[in-house]
Amino acid sequence: MLFLVVAIMRLRWSAPRAGGLSWLLAVHIAMLAFGASGTIVATASAKGLSLTLFVLTILWASVFMFNLVDRLKGIEAIGRTTARLASDPLVQALLIGWGFSSFIQGVTGFGVPVAVAAPLLIMVGFSPLRAAAISLVGHGWAVTFGSMGSSFYTIQLVTKFPEQVIGPHMALLFAPVTIASGIMVAHIQGGWHGVRRSLPLVLVVGTAMSFAMWLMAFLGAPQIASSVPGIVALIGVGFLARTPLLIKPSVTGDASGIGPEPGAATQRAAPVTAKPMTAMLGFLPYIVLIALSIVAQLGPVKSAVSGLAWGLDYPETVTADGFVAAAEQGYARIRLLNHPAPLIIISVAIAMLVYRLGGRWKRGVAWESLRLTYSQSVTTTLGVATMVMMAVVMADTGMTTLLAQGIARASGPVFPLVSPFIGLLGSFMTGSNTNSNVMFGILQVETARELGIGAVTIASVQSIGGSVGSSIAPAKVLVAATFVGMSGKESEIWRVITRYVLLLTLIAGLEALLLICLLPAWTR
């Protein structure tokens, strides 16, 4: 793990290169110092690939669906419709930076929410720095359940907590972070005056978003537990901004710490021209996906497809030092209608049919989207695969347990406060909440068990820290800087957003600490 940190942060190696050599190093240490045989490390590595396949099929399918809709101008239609909902800059910041970017994160990843939302904010008059900061901070809460739940499924699979246990629990812990994200977007846009103006609105909409996240997780549909709240934000902010929940503006100074920038006041929204795709048709595949995700949880449907699944069996392994890794039946099983990837494919097929019948289809767009998906996903695929194999080799040979014992002794009662910052570190290093959960998920749970505290809560705040921490990952900040025309000025963006991200992570840590101290039975 130390080698992985140095390779990424100091040597600036790519994720596949750093992950691949870290996996090889873990294999050698397992065999030389932990009593593992070649069969044991091969079995652990194969389990890592099974887990990788479960997660990456979600990413591949979700990115392909986004690219398809984007190439047909559906995302542009949704964005322009969102931008036209309000003329108040504070409302625009909340709509685009908190709602729209989070919806995009719910259905894809790879920095796409920033790449879509930040230019849209500039289009309606925001300065580049403010647009980048708003889009980065505003969507961070949506990352764990985003990309059709890929990061959530990772933490759930590596910790082996039942989906119906960790999903609703994590969603509840996300509630203060979700609401605080909206408050911070308001502060970036208008300082404390913006916070005061929007606080009633943000509290109401943020509560509704949090309930929607919990409900989707409770219903067994975590793959839409970010996209649905994102839609709730768009609808809620769009309609409630016209009510007394949004206080009328008054003349005041900017206390956000950003200040006006040259040229910001002269920017205007681009003229709206006729588009080949309406916003409703752009939403179509996501509406179908939400419907299918809910239908798939109905009792009769679940029973009818319960036998349609694929997974591999792995034997029990025992190292020479006596560490036992239990046998696995149907490891990382992919179920036909309970795994997001098949549901996404079905939704895409239905949408393609509608687009063809409605004359919205373009020849070659599916192949173009497929090629773009490959180019976007290949590095992430290799990086995730190698890091997952490394993590499973460490877990199945006793390394993670030994590390957890050391961390438990060193941190003691303050570990719940530290836990989300470990998740943040993983995301900052690798640029991915998924990778952070792979690297540190098992370690955090083992540490919680060593301390005798709520392991489900610790697993949850690990992913929450990784979620909001991904906003300051170098790769994502580089995306933001590129799309707002600030290449070479990334430090200016970091200077603004780091304080917000650290505060969100601290909120998660305080939540965990208070719950474990005051309600230990609830934290499990």
CB atoms near residue 125 (< 10 Å): 18
Gap between the Cα atoms of 458 and 456, Å rounded: 5
Environment class of residue 266 by beta-carbon count within 10 Å: exposed (0-12), middle (13-18) or buried (19+)? exposed
Query: Among all chains, which residue has been given the structure tokens 């002794």?
Result: 409
Per-residue pLDDT at 375: 86
Let me know: does 427 contact 469? Beta carbons within 8 Å: yes
Which residue type does 323 have? Answer: F
Gap between the Cα atoms of 405 and 417, Å rounded: 17
Category of 8 on φ-ψ map: left (φ > 0), alpha (ψ -120 to 50) or beta: alpha
Tokens of 112: 């796409």
Let me know: does 398 contact 323? Beta carbons within 8 Å: yes
Per-residue pLDDT at 265: 39
The alpha carbons of the chain give a radius of gyration, in whole angstroms, of 22
pLDDT tens for each residue of the chain, 524 residues long: 788 778 866 787 877 888 899 999 999 999 999 999 999 999 999 988 988 888 788 778 877 888 898 889 887 887 778 777 778 899 999 998 999 888 888 877 666 788 778 888 887 788 999 999 999 999 999 999 987 788 898 899 888 899 999 999 999 999 999 999 999 999 999 999 999 999 999 999 999 999 999 999 998 889 889 989 999 999 999 899 888 988 887 655 455 556 554 444 333 333 333 345 788 888 888 888 878 877 877 778 777 877 787 889 999 999 999 999 888 888 878 877 777 788 889 989 999 999 999 888 888 999 999 998 888 778 778 877 888 888 889 888 988 788 878 887 888 888 999 899 988 888 876 667 887 888 788 889 988 988 888 899 999 999 999 999 988 877 677 778 877 778 777 778 888 998 999 999 999 999 999 999 887 767 66
DSSP H helices, 124-162, are: 128-138, 146-159
Per-residue pLDDT at 256: 58
User: Which of 378, 462, 393 shows the shortest CA–CA distance to 161?
Assistant: 462
Gap between the Cα atoms of 113 and 136, Å rounded: 8
SS3 362: coil
Per-residue pLDDT at 171: 95
505 φ/ψ angles, rounded to the nearest 5 degrees: -65, -40
Tokens of 297: 């949880």
Gap between the Cα atoms of 50 and 334, Å rounded: 10
Gap between the Cα atoms of 273 and 506, Å rounded: 45
User: Which of 504, 456, 498, 523 shows the shortest CA–CA distance to 142?
Assistant: 504
DSSP H helices, 219-339, are: 227-240, 279-295, 299-304
Write the CB contacts of 406 (distance below 8 Å, at least 6 apart in sequence). none
H or E segment at 313?
A: strand 309-314
Per-residue pLDDT at 280: 86
Q: What is the DSSP letter of 352?
A: H
User: Which of 318, 277, 395 shows the shortest CA–CA distance to 26?
Assistant: 395
Per-residue pLDDT at 440: 86
Gap between the Cα atoms of 331 and 311, Å rounded: 5
Let me know: does 155 contact 437? Beta carbons within 8 Å: yes
Per-residue pLDDT at 272: 38
Category of 259 on φ-ψ map: left (φ > 0), alpha (ψ -120 to 50) or beta: left
